[in-house]
């Protein structure tokens, strides 16, 4: 898959690549009211009213959540994260981890940009407002 990626691809192609990436992880992307990963029904919802650029950033972030959860389950063999998720400190930790993953994906797929960082920071500010 990586060989097929180049930095001059159109945003729509990046979104397609990310959707395939999510599907390969076992989480198909379906339209929804907001962007969110569902760990029990194994899907990612995407707010398709967002512009393509923001959908790319948001999907990379949700893939980060999926990858993190998969790693936790593999490492601990349990769903401990689902209990911890209800605590605010975990939420912020999980969000930062998912954004770190999104940034790595962005660098690998060629959409790492100032706009990604701006979007990340505006999301982090909104989590802070809603959780603390």
Interface residues toward Zn ion, by CB under 5 A: 95, 98
- What is d(CA 20, CA 18) in angstroms, rounded to the nearest whole number? 5
Q: How far is the CB of 6 from Zn ion (least distance, A)?
A: 28
Q: Specify the residue, 18 or 98, whose C-beta has the smaller distance to Zn ion.
A: 98
Q: Specify the residue, 66 or 98, whose C-beta has the smaller distance to Zn ion.
A: 98
- Burial code (b: 16+ CB inside 10 Å, e: under 16) for 64-99 equals bbbbbbeebeeeeeeeebeeeeeeeeebeebbebbb
Q: How far is the CB of 7 from Zn ion (least distance, A)?
A: 26
Give the E-state strand segments of the chain in sequence order. 29-31, 36-38, 43-46
Q: Specify the residue, 73 or 96, whose C-beta has the smaller distance to Zn ion.
A: 96
Helix axes 11-24, 52-76, angle to 10 degrees: 20
Q: How far is the CB of 38 from Zn ion (least distance, A)?
A: 12
Q: How far is the CB of 25 from Zn ion (least distance, A)?
A: 15
Q: Are 95 and 132 in contact (CB under 8 A)?
A: no
How wide is the angle at C-alpha 101 spanned by C-alphas 9 and 84, nearest 5°?
145
Q: Specify the residue, 12 or 88, whose C-beta has the smaller distance to Zn ion.
A: 88
Q: How far is the CB of 65 from Zn ion (least distance, A)?
A: 5
Q: Specify the residue, 17 or 69, whose C-beta has the smaller distance to Zn ion.
A: 69
């Amino acid at each position: 898959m990586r060989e097929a990626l180049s930095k001059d691809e159109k945003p729509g192609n990046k979104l397609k690549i990310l959707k395939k990436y999510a599907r390969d992880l076992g989480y198909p992307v379906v339209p929804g009211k907001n962007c969110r990963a569902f760990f029990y029904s194994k899907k990612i919802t995407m707010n398709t009213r967002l512009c393509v650029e923001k959908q790319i950033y948001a999907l990379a972030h949700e893939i980060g959540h999926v990858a993190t959860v998969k790693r936790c389950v593999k490492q601990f063999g349990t769903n401990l994260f689902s209990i911890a998720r209800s605590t605010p400190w975990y939420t912020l930790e999980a969000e930062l981890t998912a954004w770190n993953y999104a940034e790595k994906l962005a660098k690998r797929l060629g959409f790492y940009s100032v706009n990604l960082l701006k979007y990340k920071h505006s999301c982090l500010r909104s989590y802070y407002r809603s959780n603390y």
